[in-house]
C-alpha cells in the first residue's frame, strides 16, 4: 500500500509526528520542532474543533433554535398572523339592524298645528346578505391569513438559510484561525532553532532575518483572522437580536461527502419552495376574492318593520317595507375586472417564479459540483502529495540536503492546501444552503455537525 495515499488523517499526522520527533529518521538533533502537540493530534477532516456541549460553544441547531425563538422580524410576523384572526371575526359578523323613527304632520298650519294630527312611525330595518356573501367573506379573510402564514414560513426559510451561512462562515474562520496558530507556532520554533544555529555559526544570519520577517507577517495575519472571527460571531449573534456574542467558538465539521446528491433529489423538492407556496396562497386568495366580488354584484335587500301611531284617528297600525337596489348602472363590474386581472397576475407570477427557481437550481447545482470536485481533489490527491513532499524534505534536511527554510516552506505549502480546501468546502456548503433554501428544507436536512458512529448521511 502506498502510504502517501492513506486517507486516514490520523495516520498522516502520526507519520508527521514521527518525522519531527526523530523516531522515523533517527534524528539526534536537540530542540526538534514540535509541529503537533497532543492537543493538535486531531483529524483535520473528521473531528470537531470543539467538543459538542463544551462551555461557551455553539452548535448549528442551537443557533437555529435561538433565531427562530428570538429574531425580531419573525416575532413581528407572528403578530401579523394573529391580527388576521380579528379580520376573520369581523367578516363573520352580520350587518347591524337600524332603527328608524319618523314624525309627520306636526307644527304646521291650521289642522296640523301641534301634534294632534301627527303620525309617528318606529321601524327596525335589517339588510339581508344573499348569494352566500357572508361565507365568501369569511373564506376570503381566511385565505388572507394563509398568506401571512406563508410569509412567516418564507421568513423562517430565509433565516435558517442565513443562519447556516453565517454559522459556516464562523466555522470556516475558526478553522483558518487554527491553521494560522499552527503556522505561528511552527515559525516561532523555526526562529528559535535558526537562532541557535546562527549562534553556533552553522547557518547564515540571512536565514534568521527571513524567519523573523515570516514570524511577524504570520502574527499580523493571525490578529486579522481573530478580528474576522469576532465580526463573524457578532453577525451570527445579530440574527437572534443579540448585541454581544455569548459563545467563543462554534462546533461542527467543515467536510464534504464523497458523492454530490443527484439533482433529481432537489428538483423533486421544489414544490416545497416557500416562495412558490407564498405565491400559491396569494392565488387562492385572489381566486376567493374574485368569487366574493362576483357575489357582491347581487344587491342585498333591506326589510323594515314597525308600528305607526295615527293621532288624528287615535289608532295604531303596523308598518312594513321592502327595498332592494336595482342593478342597472352599477353591477360591481369594475371591481370584478380588477380582481380578475390581479388573479391572472398572481398566476403568471407563479409561473415566472417557478421558471426562475428551476434555472437557479441548475446554476447552483453546477457550481456545487465544481466546488465539490475542487475540494475532493484537494482532499484526496493534492494534500497527500503536499504531505509527501513535506516529509521527503524533512528527511532530506536530516541528511543535510535541505535548509530549515525549505522545510518551513514545504510545511507552509501543505497548510495553504488545507486552507484552499476549507475555502472550497465553505463554498460548497454555502451553495448547499442556497439549494436547500430553494427546497424549503429545514435544519434536519443540513448536516454540518458530526453524525453518530454508523449513521448514514441522507445526502450521500
Pairing of strands 98-104, 119-127: antiparallel
Cell digits for 223?
490578529
pLDDT higher than 60, residue 275: yes
Instruction: Give the range among 124-128, 205-209, 248-252, 319-323 with minimum mean pLDDT.
Output: 205-209
pLDDT given for residue 383 in this prediction: 87
pLDDT higher than 70, residue 385: yes
Nearest 10 degrees: Cα torsion 241, 242, 248, 249: 0
pLDDT given for residue 158 in this prediction: 93
> How large is the average pLDDT for residues 145-168?
94
pLDDT given for residue 400 in this prediction: 72
pLDDT higher than 90, residue 240: yes
pLDDT higher than 60, residue 98: yes
pLDDT given for residue 202 in this prediction: 74
Percentage of residues in the chain with pLDDT exceeding 90? 57
Taking the domain 3-94+132-277+349-445, which CATH number applies? 1.20.1600.10
* CA pair distance 356, 335, nearest whole angstrom: 31
pLDDT higher than 50, residue 9: no
pLDDT given for residue 253 in this prediction: 85
**What distances in angstroms separate CA 87 from CA 134, 178, 343, one per listed residue?**
13, 56, 21
Closest by CA to 47, choosing from 459, 449, 455, is 449
Every domain of the chain and the residues it spans:
3-94+132-277+349-445
pLDDT given for residue 14 in this prediction: 30
> Could you tell me the pTM of the whole model?
0.77
> How large is the average pLDDT for residues 280-307?
96
Q: How many Cα atoms within 13 Å fall on the side-chain side of residue 72?
A: 6
112 confidence band (pLDDT: 50, 70, 90)? low
Instruction: Give the range among 13-27, 78-92, 183-197, 347-361 with minimum mean pLDDT.
Output: 13-27
Kindly report, residue by residue over 174-227, the tens digit of the pLDDT: 999 999 998 898 888 878 887 887 888 777 788 788 888 888 998 999 999 999
User: In this structure, which long-range contacts are made by residues 358-362, counting pairs with CB atoms below 8 Å and at least 24 apart in sequence?
Assistant: 358/267, 358/270, 360/438, 361/263, 361/266, 361/267, 361/270, 361/435, 361/438, 362/263
Which residue do the cell numbers 418564507 mark?
Answer: 154
* CA pair distance 65, 160, nearest whole angstrom: 9
Summary mean pLDDT of the chain: 82
Instruction: Give the range among 111-120, 152-161, 180-189 with minimum mean pLDDT.
Output: 111-120
414 confidence band (pLDDT: 50, 70, 90)? confident
* CA pair distance 406, 389, nearest whole angstrom: 11
Percentage of residues in the chain with pLDDT exceeding 70? 82
pLDDT given for residue 455 in this prediction: 41
Kindly report, residue by residue over 123-154, the tens digit of the pLDDT: 999 999 999 999 999 999 999 999 999 999 99
445 or 57, greater pLDDT = 57
pLDDT given for residue 33 in this prediction: 35
pLDDT higher than 60, residue 85: yes
267 or 454, greater pLDDT = 267
380 confidence band (pLDDT: 50, 70, 90)? confident
Amino acid at each position: 500500500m502506498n502510504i502517501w495515499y492513506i486517507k486516514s488523517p490520523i495516520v498522516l499526522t502520526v507519520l508527521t509526528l514521527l518525522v519531527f520527533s526523530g523516531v522515523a529518521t533517527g534524528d539526534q538533533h536537540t530542540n526538534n520542532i514540535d509541529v503537533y502537540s497532543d492537543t493538535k493530534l486531531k483529524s483535520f477532516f473528521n473531528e470537531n474543533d470543539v467538543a459538542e456541549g463544551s462551555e461557551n460553544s455553539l452548535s448549528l441547531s442551537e443557533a437555529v433554535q435561538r433565531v427562530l425563538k428570538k429574531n425580531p422580524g419573525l416575532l413581528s410576523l407572528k403578530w401579523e398572523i394573529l391580527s388576521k384572526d380579528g379580520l376573520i371575526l369581523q367578516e363573520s359578523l352580520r350587518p347591524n339592524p337600524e332603527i328608524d323613527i319618523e314624525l309627520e304632520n306636526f307644527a304646521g298650519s291650521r289642522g296640523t298645528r301641534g301634534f294632534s294630527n301627527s303620525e309617528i312611525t318606529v321601524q327596525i330595518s335589517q339588510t339581508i346578505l344573499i348569494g352566500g356573501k357572508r361565507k365568501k367573506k369569511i373564506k376570503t379573510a381566511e385565505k388572507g391569513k394563509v398568506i401571512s402564514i406563508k410569509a412567516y414560513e418564507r421568513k423562517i426559510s430565509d433565516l435558517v438559510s442565513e443562519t447556516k451561512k453565517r454559522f459556516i462562515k464562523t466555522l470556516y474562520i475558526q478553522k483558518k484561525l487554527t491553521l494560522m496558530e499552527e503556522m505561528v507556532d511552527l515559525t516561532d520554533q523555526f526562529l528559535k532553532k535558526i537562532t541557535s544555529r546562527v549562534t553556533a555559526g552553522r547557518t547564515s544570519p540571512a536565514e534568521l532575518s527571513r524567519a523573523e520577517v515570516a514570524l511577524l507577517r504570520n502574527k499580523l495575519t493571525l490578529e486579522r483572522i481573530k478580528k474576522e472571527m469576532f465580526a463573524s460571531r457578532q453577525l451570527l449573534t445579530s440574527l437572534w437580536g443579540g448585541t454581544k456574542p455569548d459563545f467563543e467558538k462554534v462546533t461542527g465539521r467543515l467536510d464534504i461527502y464523497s458523492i454530490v446528491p443527484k439533482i433529481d433529489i432537489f428538483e423533486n423538492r421544489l414544490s416545497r419552495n416557500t416562495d412558490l407556496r407564498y405565491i400559491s396562497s396569494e392565488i387562492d386568495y385572489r381566486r376567493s376574492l374574485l368569487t366574493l366580488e362576483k357575489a357582491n354584484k347581487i344587491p342585498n335587500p333591506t326589510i323594515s318593520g314597525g308600528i305607526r301611531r295615527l293621532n288624528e284617528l287615535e289608532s295604531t297600525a303596523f308598518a312594513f317595507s321592502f327595498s332592494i337596489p336595482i342593478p342597472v348602472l352599477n353591477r360591481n363590474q369594475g371591481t370584478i375586472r380588477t380582481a380578475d386581472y390581479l388573479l391572472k397576475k398572481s398566476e403568471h407570477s407563479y409561473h415566472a417564479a417557478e421558471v426562475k427557481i428551476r434555472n437557479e437550481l441548475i446554476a447552483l447545482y453546477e457550481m456545487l459540483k465544481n466546488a465539490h470536485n475542487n475540494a475532493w481533489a484537494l482532499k484526496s490527491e493534492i494534500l497527500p502529495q503536499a504531505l509527501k513532499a513535506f516529509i521527503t524534505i524533512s528527511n532530506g534536511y536530516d541528511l543535510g540536503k535541505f535548509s530549515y527554510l525549505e522545510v518551513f516552506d514545504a510545511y507552509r505549502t501543505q497548510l495553504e492546501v488545507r486552507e484552499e480546501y476549507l475555502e472550497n468546502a465553505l463554498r460548497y456548503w454555502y451553495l448547499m444552503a442556497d439549494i436547500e433554501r430553494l427546497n424549503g428544507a429545514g435544519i434536519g436536512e443540513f448536516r454540518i455537525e458530526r453524525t453518530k458512529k454508523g449513521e448514514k448521511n441522507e445526502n450521500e
